[in-house]
């Protein structure tokens, strides 16, 4: 203990920075969710928004999907970040506020802390409860980075509470999550991202690219049937949230690549004629009729560059893997 005073000061400083702050903005409106689900089921074709895929079990199933050999996006994106981290860091710049949209376990952003050296890390997810554990342990490892967890639903509108702070912002949206928006909604999202970044802001985003149909379809219909479980879990959510009487054994998981729309579609297909019933409504389904549950759009590099330009980003750079299956874009 040669320098007790300095050491004491260091401990005090570290202690001040070891607690992430949390702000919950999103409030669940169960009547609104019931209405949304009922309207979707009554549509032609019937639909359920993919946002309902992610309850506690659905999120675990998605994590399991990312470990499947057939689901290439997660590991391909990780390899791109690993291979090009110095170049990405050099272009993105150090000392920014890093805003992680859909942070989950915060792992992907944390891997970039070394090259990005953010001053502040804002992890956004639908519920701060999903973020608490991950952020607390990350804060212990990186006491000098100010950390804030925000519970917000940015699928409707991309805004942040004042606690997210200002400073030069780098928005981070990995995993090709933008692929789950229609191209029109993706454009709207990118425009909002540009506005949220403000002057000097930038966006680091992962995009799944068009590739041969068999590769795509296997990634969304794996032989272990984890993706099938992920999709079928929606029926449990329908039952829990809407009071519906869906039986999992009455449906099968369907995933197909719609080449004209450049998207993987997931559906739940009725194995027999049946009627779904819930308080205040019902929806007959013929044998083979489908509930459309998710789109996952695949882009070309040129197509996504154009979308970024249409959203108002002036400069873009991108990195891909050697097979050209996935791309990471930096837009400013
Ligand atoms: C979260 N999102 C980017 C995934 C995707 O690939 O579209 C969701 C998913 N659906 C089935 N498998 C994975």
The distance of Cα 126 from the centroid of its chain, to the nearest Å, equals 10
How is the chain split among helix, strand and coil, in percent rounded to 5? 45, 25, 30
Distance 180 CA to ligand 1 centre (A): 7
Pocket of ligand 1 (CB under 6 A): 65, 73, 175-177, 179-180, 220, 227, 294, 296
> How many residues would you count in the chain?
332
pTM listed for this prediction: 0.93
- Which residues lie below 8 Å from residue 190, measured CB to CB, with a gap of 6+? 178, 203, 307, 308, 310, 311, 313
Distance 162 CA to ligand 1 centre (A): 31
Q: What is the pLDDT of residues 125-171, one digit of tens each?
A: 988 988 999 999 999 999 999 999 999 998 878 999 998 988 899 99
Q: What is the pLDDT of residue 287?
A: 98
Ligand 1 mutation pick, 64, 65, 208, max ligand atoms within 8 A of CB: 65
Query: Which residue has the CA at smallest separation from atom 3 of ligand 1?
Result: 177
Q: What is the pLDDT of residue 17?
A: 56
Q: What is the pLDDT of residue 54?
A: 92
- Which residues lie below 8 Å from residue 4, measured CB to CB, with a gap of 6+? none
Strand 46-47 relative to strand 146-151, pairing: unpaired
Mean pLDDT of 89-104: 96
For ligand 1, what atom is nearest to the CA of residue 175?
3
Q: What is the pLDDT of residue 166?
A: 81
Q: What is the pLDDT of residues 312-321, one digit of tens each?
A: 999 999 999 9
Q: What is the pLDDT of residues 299-310, one digit of tens each?
A: 999 999 999 999
Share above pLDDT 70 across residues of the chain, in percent, rounded to a whole number = 95
Residue 277 clears pLDDT 90, i.e. is over it: yes
Strand 263-270 relative to strand 290-297, pairing: antiparallel
Please list the alpha-helical segments (H only) found in the chain. Answer: 4-17, 30-42, 56-65, 72-92, 107-110, 113-116, 128-141, 183-197, 213-219, 226-242, 301-310
Distance 84 CA to ligand 1 centre (A): 24
The helix (run of H) or strand (run of E) holding residue 163 is none
């Amino acid at each position: 203990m040669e320098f007790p005073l300095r050491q004491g000061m260091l401990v005090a400083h570290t202690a001040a920075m070891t607690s992430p702050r949390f702000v919950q903005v999103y409030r669940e409106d169960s009547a609104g969710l019931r209405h949304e689900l009922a309207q979707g089921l009554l549509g032609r074709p019937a639909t359920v928004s993919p946002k309902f895929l992610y309850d506690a079990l659905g999120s675990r199933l998605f994590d399991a999907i990312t470990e499947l050999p057939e689901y290439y996006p997660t590991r391909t994106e990780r390899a791109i970040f690993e291979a090009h981290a110095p170049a990405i860091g050099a272009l993105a710049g150090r000392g920014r506020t890093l805003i992680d949209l859909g942070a989950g376990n915060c792992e992907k952003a944390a891997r970039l802390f070394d090259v990005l050296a953010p001053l502040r890390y804002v992890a956004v997810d639908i519920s701060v409860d999903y973020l608490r554990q991950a952020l607390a342990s990350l804060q212990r490892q990186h006491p000098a980075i100010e950390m804030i967890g925000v519970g917000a639903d940015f699928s409707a509108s991309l805004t942040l509470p004042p606690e997210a702070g200002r400073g030069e912002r780098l928005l981070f949206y990995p995993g090709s999550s933008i692929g789950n928006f229609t191209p029109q909604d993706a454009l709207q999202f990118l425009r909002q991202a540009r506005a949220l970044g403000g002057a000097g802001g930038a966006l680091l985003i992962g995009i799944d690219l068009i590739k041969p149909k068999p590769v795509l379809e296997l990634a969304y219909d794996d032989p272990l049937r984890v993706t099938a479980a992920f999709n079928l879990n929606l029926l449990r959510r329908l039952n829990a949230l809407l009071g519906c009487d869906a039986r999992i054994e009455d449906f099968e998981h369907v995933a197909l690549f719609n080449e004209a729309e450049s998207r993987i579609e997931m559906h739940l297909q009725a194995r027999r004629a049946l009627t779904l019933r819930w308080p205040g409504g019902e929806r007959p389904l013929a044998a083979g009729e489908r509930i459309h549950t998710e789109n996952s759009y695949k882009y070309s590099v040129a197509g996504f560059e154009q979308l970024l330009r249409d959203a108002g980003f002036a400069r873009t750079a991108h990195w891909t893997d050697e097979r050209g299956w996935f791309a990471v874009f930096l837009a400013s």
